[in-house]
Structure 1
Amino acid sequence: MNTEILLGIITFLTSTIAGVVGLGGGMILIAVLPSFLPINALVPIHGLTQLSSNLSRAVFGYKDVKVEVIPKFLIGSLAGVSFFAVILYFVSLTYIPLFIGIYILLSLWSQKFNDKIKKFESYYLIGFIQSGFSIVVGATGPLATTLLVKDYNDKDTVVATAAALMSITHLLKVFAFMLFGFVFFDYIGILVAMIIGAVAGSYAGTKLRDKIDGKKFMLALKIILSLMAIKLVIFVFM
């Protein structure tokens, strides 16, 4: 029971962070989960929890969602999940934390890595890569957010629309792991606590979005994420 409560609180905090700045919450959560869950449960549990977080955030900010980008992203996502699902058969689950750690560090600190991401201007391609890659890595929200920031200047629009797109990513990922035979019910206690925390955090983040200094918050967030990513990389080799 202590684990369920702790994960519920952690999910609330990460969902609140994502509700305020539009990203980062999923990365923190996927970096924390290896301390609580077996490796084979990391990505599916994270996916269902993040589906709750992003979908609730999109619902709370539904007026700001740019619906016109959703069909393009959905088509790309369907193709991406189908393609990347095959890769799971050739990748050892032991190294998933390594992929997660490297991905987080590159996303945060490598300008070349982000420059390459920015070249994917199409929502079809972003959907393909983000949803497909999320099956292996788990947290890929910055991909869509990067393009949305370029297309829209309004913070609420970026956060709400990114949440809607990530909902598609996580929904398809959850279905993929169900087809793989993952039994979500085995973790029902943890999932209930995390989903409650995710929805509550989305609500809190939506209310706090205009009251927090985004630049200072993002700097602190990057430092925390980096430390967690380094820990994941070291954990694999130890």
Structure 2
Amino acid sequence: MTGTLTTVGPASAAAFALAWLSAVARFGGGVLLLPVFTGLFGLRAAVPMLTLTQLASNGSRAWLNRGELRRGIIGRFAAGAVPCAVAGGLLLAHAPLAGLQRLLGVFLLVTVAWRRLRPRLRPPGPRAFTAVGAASGLGSALLGSVGPLTAPFFLAAGLTRSAYIGTEAACALLMHVTKLVVYGTGTLLTGQVLLLGLVLTPATLAGAWAGRATLGRLSDRLFVLLVEIGLVAAGMLLILLPR
């Protein structure tokens, strides 16, 4: 890990600000936080730390919307996500760091392109969510968050409002729990990573709450544009800079 506990202040500020921005712009907070955490702590520490912050966020959303959960979708998603999250978690502990950081850079660029060019999806069939879960489990274990790439499938299935929020959060929660178990059996979930992740969780939740409070007062288009510019810049730096 390249950072120490002295970076908690800057990391907490970044977690609050980016969680607030993601709530206002309706964009995945995990994707926004990952480059910041990577710069402060290194990718191998950033991914489990981000998983800890997302655990609380997704858990609260799933619980608050528990009456609208689509359990069939959750089960099919988990069938693909859990084994692939295990494989991705094991791979993260041993894969070359330079390669992973360049993969993260490519992922950030693909995220922006997907948001701009994503096709209209047909309603996914029962087996589709197993494949979506498998890709999400592997990608999330390696890169921390792939929510912007999988969310359209939940929307295409006809989920709206509480059903969408709760079901997507429950799927993510199962995946994050699996990842933490795998990280804990290896060398990734150290005491320092665990402490930092827990310390940063309140800042992330506070930022999300503040973002919801200001939602509608600011221009969504401007925020999304700024976010996408930042993701492109971060992606290019991760790809081009020597490691």
Q: TM-score, normalised by structure 1?
A: 0.81
The 1:20/1:111 distance shift into structure 2, 3 A limit, reads closer
The 1:51/1:111 distance shift into structure 2, 3 A limit, reads closer
Consecutive unaligned residues in structure 1, runs of 5 or more:
none
The corresponding residue for 2:140 is 134
Trace 1:166-177 onto structure 2 (pairs within 5 A): 166-177=172-183
Of 215-224 and 26-35, more deviation after overlay is shown by: 215-224
By how many angstroms is 1:128 displaced?
0.9
Amino acid at match of 1:36: L
Consecutive unaligned residues in structure 2, runs of 5 or more:
none
Whether the aligned pair in 2 keeps the contact of 1:32 and 1:228 (CA below 8 Å) is: no
The corresponding residue for 1:103 is 107
Amino acid at match of 1:226: V
Trace 1:214-233 onto structure 2 (pairs within 5 A): 214-233=220-239
Whether the aligned pair in 2 keeps the contact of 1:22 and 1:159 (CA below 8 Å) is: no
Q: 1:32 aligns with which of 12, 15, 36?
A: 36
Trace 1:184-203 onto structure 2 (pairs within 5 A): 184-203=190-209
Of 45-54 and 56-65, more deviation after overlay is shown by: 56-65
The 1:202/1:153 distance shift into structure 2, 3 A limit, reads same
Give the secondary structure class of the aligned counterpart of 1:16.
helix
Trace 1:1-238 onto structure 2 (pairs within 5 A): 2-62=6-66, 65-85=69-89, 87-88=91-92, 91-109=95-113, 114=118, 121=124, 122-152=128-158, 154=160, 157-209=163-215, 211-235=217-241, 237=242
Amino acid at match of 1:228: A
Aligned residues: CA RMSD = 3.1
**Cα separation, 2, equivalents of 1:233 and 1:21:** 26
The 1:90/1:4 distance shift into structure 2, 3 A limit, reads closer
Aligned residues: percent identity?
20
By how many angstroms is 1:68 displaced?
4.1
By how many angstroms is 1:101 displaced?
0.9
By how many angstroms is 1:106 displaced?
1.4
Alignment size in residue pairs: 236
The 1:64/1:18 distance shift into structure 2, 3 A limit, reads farther
Amino acid at match of 2:192: D
The 1:179/1:22 distance shift into structure 2, 3 A limit, reads farther
By how many angstroms is 1:189 displaced?
4.4
The 1:187/1:95 distance shift into structure 2, 3 A limit, reads same
Give the secondary structure class of the aligned counterpart of 2:98.
helix
By how many angstroms is 1:32 displaced?
0.9
The 1:8/1:100 distance shift into structure 2, 3 A limit, reads same
**Cα separation, 2, equivalents of 1:201 and 1:37:** 21
When you count helix as a share of all residues, which structure comes out higher?
A: 1
**Cα separation, 2, equivalents of 1:130 and 1:45:** 18
